[in-house]
Structure 1
Amino acid sequence: MLEVVELSWRVGDIAIVDGVSLRLDRGEFLGVIGPNGAGKTSLFNLITGSRRASAGRVLLDGTDISGLATHRRAQLGLGRTFQASSVFGALSVRENVRLGVQAKLGGSFRLWRRAGSFREVTERADQHLATVGLSGRGDALAGTLAHGEKRKLEIALLLAGEPTVMLLDEPMAGVASEDVPDLVEVIRGLTRHTGAAVLMVEHHMDVILGLADRLAVMHHGSLLACDTPEAVMANPTVQEAYLGEAL
Structure 2
Amino acid sequence: MLATRGLTWRIGEVAIVDSVYLDLAPGEFLGVIGPNGAGKTSLFNLITGLRRATEGRITLDGQDIGGLPPHRRARLGLGRTFQESSVFGSLSVRENVRLAVQAHRGGSMALWRRAAADREVAAAADAALDRVGLAHRGTALAGTLAHGEKRKLEIALLLAGEPRVMLLDEPMAGVSAEDVPELVAVIKSLTGDSGRAVLMVEHHMDVILELADRIAVMHHGALLACDTPETVMANPTVQEAYLGESL
TM category (shorter chain) comes to over 0.9
- Please, what TM-score do these two structures have when normalized by structure 2? 0.97
User: Residue 170 of structure 1 contacts residue 200 of structure 1 at CA under 8 Å; is this kept in 2?
Assistant: yes
CA change 1:220–1:70 in 2 (3 A) is same
What is residue 65 of structure 2 aligned with on the other side?
65
What is residue 159 of structure 2 aligned with on the other side?
159
User: Residue 93 of structure 1 contacts residue 153 of structure 1 at CA under 8 Å; is this kept in 2?
Assistant: yes
Larger CA deviation: 105-114 vs 210-219: 105-114
SS in structure 1 at match of 2:190: helix
Instruction: Give structure 1 stretches of 5+ with no counterpart.
Output: none
What is residue 140 of structure 1 aligned with on the other side?
140
What is residue 125 of structure 1 aligned with on the other side?
125
What is residue 87 of structure 1 aligned with on the other side?
87
Q: Deviations over 1:186-232 (max 9, x none)?
A: 00000136421000000000000000000000000000000000000
User: Residue 101 of structure 2 contacts residue 161 of structure 2 at CA under 8 Å; is this kept in 1?
Assistant: yes
- Please, what TM-score do these two structures have when normalized by structure 1? 0.97
User: Residue 239 of structure 2 contacts residue 245 of structure 2 at CA under 8 Å; is this kept in 1?
Assistant: no
CA distance in 2, matches of 1:44, 1:33: 13
Report the alpha carbon displacement of residue 243 of structure 1 after superposing the two structures with TM.
5.9
Report the alpha carbon displacement of residue 242 of structure 1 after superposing the two structures with TM.
1.4
Report the alpha carbon displacement of residue 107 of structure 1 after superposing the two structures with TM.
2.7
Aligned length, in residue pairs: 247
User: Residue 27 of structure 2 contacts residue 193 of structure 2 at CA under 8 Å; is this kept in 1?
Assistant: no
CA distance in 2, matches of 1:150, 1:67: 32
CA distance in 2, matches of 1:145, 1:243: 34
Report the alpha carbon displacement of residue 245 of structure 1 after superposing the two structures with TM.
9.2
RMSD: 1.3
What is residue 6 of structure 2 aligned with on the other side?
6
CA distance in 2, matches of 1:201, 1:59: 20
Q: Deviations over 1:25-56 (max 9, x none)?
A: 00000000011110000000000000111111
CA distance in 1, matches of 2:158, 2:86: 12
CA distance in 1, matches of 2:118, 2:245: 50
Q: Deviations over 1:9-31 (max 9, x none)?
A: 00111110000010000000000
CA change 1:56–1:206 in 2 (3 A) is same
CA distance in 2, matches of 1:11, 1:63: 27
SS in structure 2 at match of 1:129: helix
